[in-house]
Structure 1
Amino acid sequence: MPLYKKYKLPLLWLRRHTSSREFMLISSALVGLTAGMAAVILKTIVHYLYLMLAYGGRLLDTPVLLVVLPIIGILLTVMVIQLFFKGKVEGGTAGILYSIAQKSSIVRRSKMYSYVITSGITAGFGGSAGLESPIVVTGSAIGSNFGRSYHLNYRERTLLLACGAAAGVAAVFNAPVAGVLFAIEILLTDISISAFIPLMIAAVVGTLCSTLTLDEDLLFYVEKINDFYAGNIPFYMVLGALTGLISVYYTRTVHWIEAIFEPLAGKVYKRALIGGLCLGLLIMLFPPLFGQGYEAIKLLQHDNAELLLKDSWLRFFGTNEWVVLCFAGALALVKVIASTLTLVSGGKGGNFGPSMFVGAFAGFFFAKLVNLTALGNVPVNSFTMVGMAGILSGVMHAPLMGIFLIAEITGGYALIIPLMIVSATSYAVVKYFEPYSLEAKKLAQKGQLLTHNKDATVLRIMKIRHLIETEFQAISPEATLRDLVDVIAHSRRNLFPVVDANGTLAGIILLEDIREIMFNTSRYDTVKTKELMVKPPVLVQHDDSMADVMKKFDTSGAWNLPVVEGDKYLGFVSKSSIFTKYRKLLIKTTNV
């Protein structure tokens, strides 16, 4: 018997002999365990590959390798995707949102391992992207496919998908609360209280995976943090506004660079070479951009910021405090460019880690500037950490996750007040300029962002082809009034499509419009239906979205609208059938 079938047998027995709630609790633990171990594997591979390239024998002392290694990593990633995954490793967190909304939370099985492989290669060879989004995709795919294997319904499958994502985030940062809040704020904005327990179980199991198996060097943590001083509140408020503006810059820069590379979408190797070369040149000027960048953040925490310039050509300007300050400020801005180049050129990763990098350097820059200009005396390490929460809140549109992630990383809640101030301020500033998060903006522009709006989600799930009514009696334009009256006598409808011999919709006839003439028998053989028909107020194309269809109903005021493919008549769609289907789907998709 195959191994996977032996694995399924005990769970099939549990599925039959436990309640749905009990099975979901067991499932959440198993999904959390699997997603947590996937996170551990990915972190371990990238960590040791990075150490080998960056520190083993100081390979990066040779500046040309700063250009070559990222290009090699991106090219290898593209080759693996093309050869082994048929070019289909796409989506990131936005792809998971799309799967929840439009694919009934069904994620391709290959995503359970494809992102581990491809993002590991990209980041390990110096690609300036994060591993957190790939881990989210991997965990989500594990949860989704677990649900598919045991024939769970949409709500249960969606919950397990979120459990996998929560476990992945929790494992990466040793932060179970942040994992739960990530799932709630980004994936499950419409959630019931009953879903919290499976999410918490998955997050705790994922955290235990990393705690028990990973060395401290592989986990991002802070040894010491300064106590909060209420007198610094004005500075924290300014930092919140600053990180909000930087978050707007982050989002718009990403989409601007993506637009530049759009013409190269089908030329994967050319795009990899161009993007990789640009990335390598940036890393030559700013070596801390190599890899995820957590080593650089640790230098800030230990007050060793001058070491950031050690391998950079810019070190010839000196290493005094003002040069270091300018270098750190520049890093906060160019990290956005570097991470976007990594992704648009074909590398795999995400913006979660880069957001933390940008936030840390923005916080460091602001605190150092305040101290050097004698405007105040603020704790640099505290502002460095709080800045991370500000950018996470702004870029990801997840202020609660940003607050509690940094609180858990710092080992307590000493900074909870400044974290709340900075995250709330940053989020408020960003929402004014950008109503959608970085991951959601492109989906929103396409009308595909549905997880944040239950009505839109339901409408998007509905398809016109499933709602077409074909029992309307069609009649030829050349038919006489007598023929029409005969059709009316055998129909229970009050609307009749006029269709020519080629199947083209010529017009429609409403019973109320011909009520008077239909009783005039003297005209039965002289009046043709083409003289009685009218043009429909609007046509519905067979591939229209349901949102477009509802707009057409609103503008026309009609209760039934004809559906065509091109100009070929297919049938009618009615408001009543849409409302009936809507109610059924709303019940199905509510209370995840």
Structure 2
Amino acid sequence: MPHYKKLKIPLLWLRRHTSDREFMLLSSVLVGLTAGLAAVVLKTLVHYIHVLLAYGNRLLDQPYWLVVFPLAGILLTVFLVRVMFNGHIGRGTANILFNISQKSSMVERHKMYSHVLTSGITAGFGGSAGLESPIVVTGSAIGSNYGREYHLNYRDRTLMLASGAAAGIAAVFNAPIAGVLFAIEVLLTDISISAFIPLIIAAVVGALCSKIILQEEILFYIGQREFFEAGHVPFYVLVGIISGMMSVYYTRMALRVEEVFEAYETKVYQRAIIGGILLGLLIMLFPPLFGEGYDSIRLLEGNNAEKLLQESWLAFFGTNEWLLLSFIGALALVKVFATTITIASGGNGGNFAPSMFVGACSGFFFARLMNLLEVTKLPEGSFAMVGMAGILSGVMHAPLTAVFLIAEITGGYTLMIPLMIVAATSFALVKYFEPYSLDTKKLAQKGQLLTHNKDRTILRILKIRHLIETEFQEVSPEATLGELVQVIAHSRRNLFPVVNDSKSLEGVILLENVREIMFKAEKYDVVKVKELMVKPPAIVQYDDSMADVMKKFDESGAWNLPVVEGDVYLGFVSKSSIFTKYRKLLIKTTNV
């Protein structure tokens, strides 16, 4: 008997002999432990690949390796995806949101390991992307497949999925509170107090895994040394505004770069080569773009930004303060290109760490500029930290996650007030220009995104194709009244679509409109159906969203509306069938 089946037996026994609540608490421990270990494996893999390639042999001393390594990583990732996973692994948080809304929180089994392998190779070889999205996908897959294995219902399976994601984030940053908040803000659209307990347990277990196993140089941790001064509040507000503007820039530029690479969607190796070379050239110009970028953030926070410049070709011009400031500002602007090229060309990664990198550069840039202009004396490290929260809040649309993540990785809450100011200001500004986050914008455009508005969420899940009723008796516009009477006599409906030979809908016959004439036998052979039909009050297209359908029902006052694809008649959709399906989905999608 396989080992996993031996392990499954006692859990199945517990499933039968414990309450649902007790089993869910135990499940959160197991999912949190597994997701935490997966995060440990991923961080360790990237760390040692990076050490071997970049530092072990000092290969980065030769600039051309900065092109070769990222290109090799992207090509290897594309090769593995095509050979091992049929060319598709579903990248990013958006893919998990799609699984929740469209696939009943069922995540493919291979995602429990495929993202660890591919993102580890991409980032380890210098790809300019983060590991957090891959670990969210991995943890979510672990939780989802655990729920499938032990026959949990949709609500509990979704909770386990979110618990796995929370544990993954908690383990990557040793930040359990941020892990819980990420699951709530990004993945779960509806949550009750009872659901917090499994999330908290999973996040704590995941954080303990990384705390016990990983060394400090692998974990991203910063010791906060500077304190908040109330006199700096106006400057923190300005950083929040700058962060909001940078977040909008990040989101829009990333989507535009993705559109460029979509032209090579079927030419995967050509796309990988082009992207790898472009990424390598960017890294040659700006070496801090190599990898996740956490080492660079540490230098900015520790007031050692000069070391970033020393590693670039600009060091030839010395360490002029204004040159350094220009270099940091350029890093903030080009990071989005490096990250999007990495992912769009075939690498695997996310925008979590890059957002923090851009935020650190933006916050540091602002503080150093104020200091150079002698406007005031600002703590540059603190402004780099709150800048991270601002961009993370704006790009991911997760302000609470941003605030508590930075608070946790700095080891204290001395910056809590400025973190809240910057994150809230950035988020408010971004929401005005970009209602959806970078990861969810495309899903929202397709109507496949779960939202915190329960009515809107369920309407997006409902699809016309599942609600079409086809038992209505069709009649030809050339049919006589007598033929219509025969159709009426054998039908249980009081509505009849008038369809021509090419299956196009020309009108409808309402029983109430012909009730008087249908008893005049002398007109049976004289009056044609086309003389009796009326135009339907509204017509539903097959690809209409359910929100549009409900609007047509409200405006027309009808109870049944015809559905067409182009001009071809398909059937009718009724309010009663929509309400029935709505009630079922409302029960199904309400979390415990």
TM-score with structure 1 setting the length: 0.96
After superposition, what is the alpha-carbon deviation per residue over 1:448-471, rounded to whole angstroms, capped at 9, x for unaligned? 222333223212332333323233
1:408-557 counterparts in 2 under 5 A? 408-499=408-499, 505-542=505-542, 544-557=544-557
Letter paired with 1:149: E
* Greater CA drift, 403-412 or 90-99: 90-99
Query: SS in structure 2 opposite 1:105?
Result: coil
* Greater CA drift, 496-505 or 405-414: 496-505
Equivalent residues of 2:91, 2:348 under 8 A apart = no
1:298-313 counterparts in 2 under 5 A? 298-313=298-313
**Distance in 2 of aligned mates of 1:566 and 1:109:** 39
The alpha carbon displacement at 1:34 in A equals: 0.7
1:33-432 counterparts in 2 under 5 A? 33-432=33-432
Letter paired with 2:255: H
The alpha carbon displacement at 1:70 in A equals: 0.6
The alpha carbon displacement at 1:538 in A equals: 4.1
Equivalent residues of 1:226, 1:382 under 8 A apart = yes
After superposition, what is the alpha-carbon deviation per residue over 1:163-211, rounded to whole angstroms, capped at 9, x for unaligned? 0110000000000000000001111132111110010000000001101
**Distance in 1 of aligned mates of 2:423 and 2:501:** 65
Equivalent residues of 1:102, 1:460 under 8 A apart = no
Letter paired with 2:127: G
Letter paired with 2:347: G
* Greater CA drift, 108-117 or 32-41: 108-117
Equivalent residues of 1:129, 1:353 under 8 A apart = yes
After superposition, what is the alpha-carbon deviation per residue over 1:416-458, rounded to whole angstroms, capped at 9, x for unaligned? 1111111111111211221111111122222222233322321
After superposition, what is the alpha-carbon deviation per residue over 1:46-75, rounded to whole angstroms, capped at 9, x for unaligned? 011111111112100111001111111111
Query: SS in structure 2 opposite 1:562?
Result: strand
After superposition, what is the alpha-carbon deviation per residue over 1:80-116, rounded to whole angstroms, capped at 9, x for unaligned? 1111111112231011111111111111111111111
**Distance in 1 of aligned mates of 2:164 and 2:171:** 11
Letter paired with 2:369: L
**Distance in 1 of aligned mates of 2:287 and 2:21:** 51
The alpha carbon displacement at 1:535 in A equals: 4.0
**Distance in 1 of aligned mates of 2:486 and 2:70:** 76
What's the counterpart of residue 13 of structure 1? Answer: 13
**Distance in 2 of aligned mates of 1:476 and 1:442:** 43
Query: SS in structure 2 opposite 1:233?
Result: helix
Query: SS in structure 1 opposite 2:374?
Result: coil
Query: SS in structure 2 opposite 1:86?
Result: coil
Letter paired with 1:589: T
- The alpha-carbon distance between structure 1 residues 224 and 475, as it changes in their structure 2 partners (threshold 3 A), is closer
**Distance in 1 of aligned mates of 2:294 and 2:456:** 39
The alpha carbon displacement at 1:571 in A equals: 2.9
What's the counterpart of residue 23 of structure 1? Answer: 23
**Distance in 2 of aligned mates of 1:91 and 1:533:** 52
1:551-566 counterparts in 2 under 5 A? 551-564=551-564
The alpha carbon displacement at 1:217 in A equals: 0.8
* Greater CA drift, 146-155 or 439-448: 439-448
**Distance in 2 of aligned mates of 1:480 and 1:319:** 93
- The alpha-carbon distance between structure 1 residues 181 and 268, as it changes in their structure 2 partners (threshold 3 A), is same
The alpha carbon displacement at 1:76 in A equals: 0.6
After superposition, what is the alpha-carbon deviation per residue over 1:90-146, rounded to whole angstroms, capped at 9, x for unaligned? 231011111111111111111111111110110000000000010001101111111
* Greater CA drift, 559-568 or 88-97: 559-568
Letter paired with 1:563: V
Equivalent residues of 1:100, 1:451 under 8 A apart = no
Query: SS in structure 2 opposite 1:55?
Result: helix
What runs of 5+ residues in structure 1 fail to find an aligned partner? none
Letter paired with 1:307: K
Query: SS in structure 1 opposite 2:263?
Result: helix
What runs of 5+ residues in structure 2 fail to find an aligned partner? none
After superposition, what is the alpha-carbon deviation per residue over 1:239-278, rounded to whole angstroms, capped at 9, x for unaligned? 1111111111111110111122221121111111111111
The alpha carbon displacement at 1:569 in A equals: 4.1
**Distance in 1 of aligned mates of 2:543 and 2:149:** 31
Equivalent residues of 1:101, 1:451 under 8 A apart = no
**Distance in 1 of aligned mates of 2:129 and 2:391:** 16
Query: SS in structure 2 opposite 1:438?
Result: coil
**Distance in 1 of aligned mates of 2:466 and 2:243:** 47
Equivalent residues of 2:447, 2:460 under 8 A apart = no
The alpha carbon displacement at 1:564 in A equals: 4.1
**Distance in 1 of aligned mates of 2:336 and 2:467:** 45
- The alpha-carbon distance between structure 1 residues 102 and 451, as it changes in their structure 2 partners (threshold 3 A), is farther
The alpha carbon displacement at 1:290 in A equals: 0.4
Query: SS in structure 1 opposite 2:155?
Result: helix
Query: SS in structure 2 opposite 1:264?
Result: coil
Query: SS in structure 2 opposite 1:127?
Result: coil
After superposition, what is the alpha-carbon deviation per residue over 1:327-373, rounded to whole angstroms, capped at 9, x for unaligned? 11111111111111111111100000001111111111111111111
The alpha carbon displacement at 1:502 in A equals: 6.5
Query: SS in structure 1 opposite 2:359?
Result: helix
The alpha carbon displacement at 1:555 in A equals: 4.5
**Distance in 2 of aligned mates of 1:235 and 1:497:** 67
The alpha carbon displacement at 1:586 in A equals: 1.0
* Greater CA drift, 308-317 or 213-222: 308-317
Letter paired with 2:463: K
* Greater CA drift, 475-484 or 228-237: 475-484
**Distance in 2 of aligned mates of 1:261 and 1:114:** 23
* Greater CA drift, 518-527 or 225-234: 518-527
Equivalent residues of 1:397, 1:436 under 8 A apart = yes
**Distance in 2 of aligned mates of 1:99 and 1:477:** 45
Letter paired with 1:473: Q
The alpha carbon displacement at 1:573 in A equals: 1.3
Query: SS in structure 2 opposite 1:316?
Result: helix
* Greater CA drift, 552-561 or 68-77: 552-561
Two-structure CA RMSD over aligned residues (Å): 1.8
The alpha carbon displacement at 1:8 in A equals: 1.3
Query: SS in structure 2 opposite 1:571?
Result: strand
Query: SS in structure 2 opposite 1:332?
Result: helix
Equivalent residues of 1:138, 1:165 under 8 A apart = yes
- The alpha-carbon distance between structure 1 residues 547 and 224, as it changes in their structure 2 partners (threshold 3 A), is closer
The alpha carbon displacement at 1:556 in A equals: 3.9
**Distance in 2 of aligned mates of 1:75 and 1:573:** 49
State the aligned residue count: 592
Query: SS in structure 2 opposite 1:361?
Result: helix
Equivalent residues of 2:272, 2:345 under 8 A apart = yes
- The alpha-carbon distance between structure 1 residues 15 and 475, as it changes in their structure 2 partners (threshold 3 A), is same
Equivalent residues of 2:447, 2:545 under 8 A apart = no
